[in-house]
Structure 1
Amino acid sequence: MSDIHANADSKTDGRPGAARGLSPTPAPRILIVEDEAALSMLLAYNLEAEGFVVDRVERGDEAEIRLSETMPDLVILDWMLPGVSGLEICRRMRAREATRSLPVIMLTARGEESERVRGLSIGADDYVVKPFSVPELMARVRSLLRRARPDRVAAVLSAGDLELDRQNWRVRRTGRDVHLGPTEFRLLEHLMERPGRVFSRAQLLDSVWGLSAEIDERTVDVHVGRLRKALTAPGERDPIRTVRGAGYSFDETFGKGPGASDRTP
């Protein structure tokens, strides 16, 4: 049990690609430029839970300084900022060789089509209107990173005879297709990204359903049950571990040798 909790605190388990059983790739670095402290903290919490390295600034002029010091892999940029506006920051980034192709997701309360067109025409790669779904934003971050920096985000997570293809939304085990609903797919993806790390029901609700989800924590148990049923045929090992009083994890020993999983119904 102590080994399980030690893995729950491991930073390397959170790096994208770690579930492949290979040397983990460097975690992608995300720069958040947002002056609303609560929103900035919420985004940082969810991104770090996804295994990203996060840096945060509140002003446009601070963003320019930070970009000159450390180059991120993606920028989440608010439209309205003190100092220099997000729109101007984006324009300046596209004018510089070093940041010309740096992926940018623009956050804004402006939902009009003309404003979206303006943001995209200035060089933003994606545009998200507040309020937004955190899981949707996380999906957009991963999608944009896969297109811009495919070397930094593994398109396929695999462990033992189990393989999850993020790009094609496909799961296979021992050569057969595993049919999962969208929630079960995101749940498996989240667990496979951090093998061995134990997540409480509340943490899984935050990361898979979103902090705004008004559902009971026991809902997690229902979806974990469905996931297990879909993944595990008779005689096959269950890759999902239940840690009593703590939550669930993807078995870090799955595919590394014989032995039964510590499954708890």
Structure 2
Amino acid sequence: MLCLTGEAGMARKTLMVVEDDTDTRELLQKALGSEYELVGVSNGEGVPQLVESHQADLVVLDIGLPGISGIEVCRQLRAHGPTRNIPILFLTAFGGDAIFTEGVIAGGDGWMTKPFDVPKLKERIEYLLRGPAAVSGRL
């Protein structure tokens, strides 16, 4: 686990970044580190417990992880009581209706295809962090 923490200061929302690609994790740190506390992990093992222990407010989740897939991690988060309602934003290099549908069924709240546009990513994160009133449905 890697703590990708921005500047100290006022209380900020915490994002759990589950991404196996180091370059993408570093890009997310640069793009989001000044606004959010970031905790990064490179695989899906034990993510529900890590999300709970770090009190993450949102999970940025790669679909194509080594070992356990991001879809399965999403299912685990939805089945784990303390993480059941935490927003999940999928990042993926995969496209197509089948993987999108699988993400919806697993319980994902948002979706970004890699390579992603940083301003659009920030907008989606802000939208999801506003809470259930802002999210009328999954994905």
Q: Using the alignment, how far apart are the partners of 2:133 and 2:23 within structure 1?
A: 29
Partner Cα distance (2:71, 2:49) in 1:
16
**Equivalent residue of 2:74, what SS?**
helix
State the SS of the aligned residue for 1:81.
coil
Q: Say if 2:40 is the partner of 1:43.
A: no
Unaligned segments of structure 2, at least 5 residues? 1-6, 135-139
Q: Is residue 84 from structure 1 mapped to residue 68 from structure 2 by the alignment?
A: yes
Tell me if the contact between 2:52 and 2:83 (Cα under 8 Å) persists in the aligned partners. no
Distance, in Å, in 1 between the alignment partners of 2:133 and 2:66 is 30
Task: Identify if the C-alpha distance between structure 1 residues 149 and 43 changes in structure 2 by more than 3 Å, giving closer, same or farther.
Answer: farther
Aligned to 1:11: 8
Q: 1:27 to 1:68 in 2, by over 3 A?
A: closer
Written as runs of structure 1 = structure 2, the 5 A alignment for 1:193-208 is none
What are the residue-to-residue correspondences of 1:56-75 with 2, within 5 Å?
A: 56-75=40-59
Q: CA deviation at 1:52?
A: 0.7
TM-score computed with the length of structure 2 as normaliser: 0.84
Structure 1 residue 11, shift from structure 2 partner: 3.3
**Residue 83 of structure 1: CA displacement?**
2.9
AA aligned to 1:131 is P
Specify which structure has the bigger relative contact order, considering alpha-carbon pairs within 8 angstroms and separated by 6 or more residues.
2
Which residue type is aligned with residue 134 of structure 1? V
Gap runs ≥5 in structure 1: 1-9, 16-25, 151-265
Q: Report whether the alignment pairs 1:28 with 2:13.
A: yes
**Which residue number in structure 2 is paired with residue 141 of structure 1?**
125
The number of aligned residues is 128
- Structure having the higher Rg: 1
- After superposition, the C-alpha distances for 1:144-175 in whole angstroms (9 at most, x for unaligned) are 1013499xxxxxxxxxxxxxxxxxxxxxxxxx
Write the distance in 2 (CA, Å) between the matches of 1:125 and 1:86: 13
Q: Secondary structure at the match of 2:12?
A: coil
* Structure-2 separation of matches of 1:119 and 1:131: 18
Q: Contact 1:32 / 1:77 at 8 angstroms: preserved in 2?
A: yes
Find the residue that maps to 1:44 and give its secondary structure: helix
What are the equivalent positions in structure 2 for 1:125-164 lying under 5 Å apart?
125-148=109-132
Q: Tell me which of 90, 93, 97 is aligned to 1:113.
A: 97
Q: What RMSD in Å do the two structures reach over aligned CA positions?
A: 1.9
Structure 1 residues 33 and 79: alpha-carbon distance in aligned structure 2, compared to 1, 3 A threshold = same
